[in-house]
Every structure is written in structure tokens, then in C-alpha cells.
Structure 1
């Protein structure tokens, strides 16, 4: 079911609770004396959370203590997310990984909830923020770390397109049915990933051999997800490298080779199960389509990743196709 959070805070205690419930645990600090008002409207589209924020001047801090607490509370998944913000009005400052970036209307910025950051706004502002798991991005986490607190797409021909798409999606998503909203939110994440990959190429982030091999191997995985025999050994053989070398290519990516295969298969199955055009396709057939031919194994794997068995996920998604 789509999570809907609509809230307004009139003091900093209320605001801290509101932003922490909407995103990840955060500290807040006032930027000026007097009263405070902030409003958040947030919706969850299959782990892609789209929020609109309107608030008075303040700062939010993601501290090492809060990051450790998130993981110890059993919410490690929410600790490992990317957030992309599109500034609509007002100005601010993003600080992460030793870099500072000015946030002005129209700018896109990415930051990582698994590492400390600070956002500071010295005037009233509004913005759209998308938060999604790092696993939704087909790029090594370490490589994306080169882009935090930098203007995403500022010199890229797709940058203005992405900003426009996020702005239009933010306004449109609340009016769409569940299945359409999930697909649109996923498409926006894919478009962002395309821009980030090109930014990394331009910056030399993919120049080394490991990055080249990682791209080649993950393309191979995508092309062979339907093969139940796909495994680290078959992948290594297809690329004339040892299994040990294959695992070394994935070091620092945040995922093992087998884990990457499982994640991509579940992502494809999740998309098909959420597609109303495929409601008559048996759940087991969708699993088999993506290389998960054992129905019991498919159900266990899907539930471990998504939190619901595949049949239950399909029912909940298609039952919430409200306008």
C-alpha cells in the first residue's frame, strides 16, 4: 500500500519527528529566532519515496550516531539510501564527503544516508526529494560517492530534462493509480542513474579496468537473468576470468555477484507483478521467466527482499490502483 504522510509542524520538536518519519532519523537546528513552520507531503512507490517539503529556515543533520542507531534498530535498509533533491524555491547548502554545494532553484543534488551530511537553509524554501535504496541504482556505491554534494546534470544535456521530469512527476504522482505511480517513480530513478553514470564517465570515474569490467559483467547478467544456471562460475567462464577475479570486480559495489543476480531478478519480478497487464500470468511463471524456476525458493527470496510473498505483493499493489 502506498504510504501517505501529510504533516505540518509548528515547532522544532514536531519538525524533527516529521522529517525523521518521512526519511531517516535526523537532527534539526533553527536558523533564526521566532516561530517555525514546516510541511511535508510524502508517498512511497515501492521503496521510492517522493516528498515535497516547504519549510522555514533551518538545518538538518545526519550524524554518525544517528546512522549507527538506525542500523542497530534493525532498519539498515533505510540507512543505505540515496536522496536526490530538486530545489524549487529558496537557497540552501549541502555538505557531505568534504564537499559543499549551494542549492538554488533548479539544482539537483544527491546525498547518501549511510554517511553523515548537513543540509542548511537560510531562507524559506521548497523542494522535491526522492529517496530510494542504493540497490535500485545500477552503479557501484563507491562510484556514486564521487557525486555527493555536487550539482548533478549541471553540464549534462539531460540535466534539465531530469529536473523537469522530477518536477512534473512530483506534481503528477499523487493523481495516478498505484501501479502507474510505481512504474513512473522507477523510470525517474532509471533516468537519474543514466545521468549519474554519464557524469562518472566524464569525471573519469569509469576509466579504470575494474569499472569497465563491472559494466560489462552487469550487462551480461541483465541479458541472462532468465537462465536458471546463471552463477558466478558461468559468468566468470563467459568473460575468461577466474571466479576470484570476478569477486574482486564486485568489491566495493555493496553487493556480491550472487547477491547482484538475486537483486536484479527480484526487481524484474516485482515490476511484472505490479503490472496490471500481467495480472493473469501465474506468479510461478513470472519467477521462472527471470530464472527462479523453483516456486518455493522464489517465494522465500522475494519475501526476504520485499517483505511480502509474491502473490501477496501483487494483491496489495493491484488492489490499491486508486485514482
Structure 2
């Protein structure tokens, strides 16, 4: 399991909650001032997940305003990037020399610790996933990183969608990863954030080749997962959709120790397995599940499922049912 610390304000005396939250936020990002109309009885949660020097912090809180002031910058500047995904609620970000920018669900806020800013979570309840990335972990020059401040950073399209998916997946399933994997996950996230910023700046060519390759691999994998139901999903169709050659596509997967066809098959089988194991849903015929996950015929699905999991799909579903069998 990944190294994780959990803060719940309800575990503290009411009088201490806001002060402890303030100190925790200042140590997570950089020294800042906080104000809230709910400070007298502040109710919030925060998790800190370490990815080898990069910190994820999913948090939930009521109306709250973060102030990173010039005084606080002089006090301490760790030269980090804060990127926060709004999962629920709305906010407004402002800087001394840039236009105010509203934020809604599915959008990112970005700032660097060297810049003064104010972020106001409008409430009534805000959920965010924050990430703190050291300057040295990014693949763009610092002055170019700072050029991203104030730009639109959508979380549903482009590389931003991959960053949002990564943050959501890792923070929701920290128990699925070993702590030894944390540095690798941190490198992947740093590459994705670098690629996201480069895309916003139209500066992808300035990224190191290895960063571009890792980001492209993740984009292709995400494309495959979105199109698993397409029975005509092939290396040719994937390469055409991503505007790369088939040989380039195959090299991407060879570097991951697999093949395009194997990755498609594994993802389809895993999707079908999850659906077969979901006993809370109304039962769907096995052949319909197979079709939904892109298998052209029931026999191929059954044969592939047995090879992967050692049982037939029907027997797997039967074993997952509660109660006596």
C-alpha cells in the first residue's frame, strides 16, 4: 500500500480544527494564509499520499480561501508547482497581474509557489485532488512552466484528461499499489503534468523524447480503453486515430513488455470479469457481456476467459454469487 496520512477535523477539538488545517496546508504546499466563514467549526478531510517526492492530496472542505502572499513567498519558496483538480464545487482564482479565472468541476487550477495568488472555494462543499510537483521533476524550463499560470486547463480533454484519470485512479485505489512503486508513479505523473503544460503552451517539441514517448503511450492506452467495445479495434485503426505509424505503435508496447493485441485482450477480459463479479447489478447474459466488451463471438470469449482466469465466465459468475450454491 502507498504511504498515506489521513487528517479528519472531527478527530480534533472544535477549537483546534482550523488552526491544524492551516498548518497542514502550509506544510503541504507552501506557507499561506487561510480564511473561512466556517473557521469556528471547521469540518474537512485530507489525505497525503507520497509518490517519491511528489505529493497527492485529495481533500474535501467547506467554503475556504487560500492566500499565497508576497510576504509568505519571502518567508519560504520551495519552488513547487501546485496542480489541483476540482472534483466537486466551484472556485475562483486570482493573481495580482492576471485576470480572475472561475473554476468548475473537471477543471484544473495551477500555480507555482513563487507567485502570489488567491483561490476561493465557493462551497457549500469543495472536493479537490491536489498534487505538488517539485520544479526539478518537470521536463519544461521554469519560465515556461510559469507561463501556464492563468491558462485554461480542462480535465476532460487532451493530456489533461489523462492527468485527471491518473489522479482519480491512484487516490481512489492506494491499496492496489506497493510503496516500492511510488517513485515510478511519481515519474509517470511528472511526465503527464509536463506534457499537459506543453500541450497548453503548444510546446510539445520542447519536451525530452522520453517524456513525449511515455505521454504518448499513456494516451494510446487511454484511447484503447475508451474503445474496447469496438470489435474493429486493431493496431491499424489505433495508429490511424493517433496519427502514428503501426511500427511506432508496436514499439510503444514492446517497451512496456507487451503487444497491442495482448493489451486489448487483457483490458477486455478485465472489464468483463469486473462485470461478471458485480452481483449487485441485474444479471446480464454472459454472451451480452462478451459483446459489450468487444468480443466477436461467445466461444472466443469463453476460451480467452478460461485461459486468463482458469474458469469459464459462467462458473466465475456462479462462484461470485452470495449464499449457498
If the TM-score is normalised by the length of the shorter chain, which range does it land in? 0.5 to 0.7
Matches within 5 A, 1:4-23: 4-9=4-9, 10=14, 11-23=17-29
1:86 match: secondary structure: strand
Q: Does 1:101 align with 2:101?
A: yes
TM-score (norm 2): 0.56
- 1:46 maps to what in 2? 52
The CA deviation at 1:68 is: 1.2
Matches within 5 A, 1:155-170: 156-170=157-171
1:53 match: secondary structure: strand
| CA distance 1:146–1:87, change in 2 (3 Å) | same
Matches within 5 A, 1:83-162: 83-96=82-95, 97-123=97-123, 124-153=125-154, 156-162=157-163
Q: Distance in 2 between matches of 1:69 and 1:94?
A: 22
Judge conservation of contact 1:138–1:193 (CA < 8 Å) in 2: yes
1:111 match: secondary structure: strand
Q: Distance in 1 between matches of 2:48 and 2:109?
A: 19
- 2:188 maps to what in 1? 187
Count of aligned residue pairs for this structure pair = 203
Judge conservation of contact 1:53–1:128 (CA < 8 Å) in 2: yes
- 1:199 maps to what in 2? 200
Q: Distance in 2 between matches of 1:58 and 1:13?
A: 13
Q: Distance in 1 between matches of 2:39 and 2:115?
A: 29
Q: Distance in 2 between matches of 1:149 and 1:12?
A: 29
| CA distance 1:174–1:47, change in 2 (3 Å) | farther
Give 5+ residue unaligned stretches, structure 2. Answer: 211-325
Q: Distance in 1 between matches of 2:68 and 2:3?
A: 23
- 1:251 maps to what in 2? none
| CA distance 1:155–1:56, change in 2 (3 Å) | closer
Q: Distance in 1 between matches of 2:180 and 2:26?
A: 27
Give 5+ residue unaligned stretches, structure 1. Answer: 71-75, 221-323
The CA deviation at 1:136 is: 0.9
Judge conservation of contact 1:81–1:134 (CA < 8 Å) in 2: yes
- 2:297 maps to what in 1? none
Give the greater-gyration-radius structure (CA).
2
Give CA deviations for 1:137-178 in whole Å, capped at 9, x if unaligned: 111111122211322246853332322222112212354111
Judge conservation of contact 1:31–1:122 (CA < 8 Å) in 2: no
When the two chains are superposed, the root-mean-square deviation of aligned CA atoms in Å is 2.8
The CA deviation at 1:6 is: 1.8
| CA distance 1:183–1:132, change in 2 (3 Å) | same
The CA deviation at 1:198 is: 1.7
1:139 match: secondary structure: coil
The CA deviation at 1:134 is: 1.0
Q: Distance in 2 between matches of 1:19 and 1:154?
A: 23
Judge conservation of contact 2:85–2:155 (CA < 8 Å) in 1: no
The CA deviation at 1:54 is: 0.7
TM-score (norm 1): 0.56
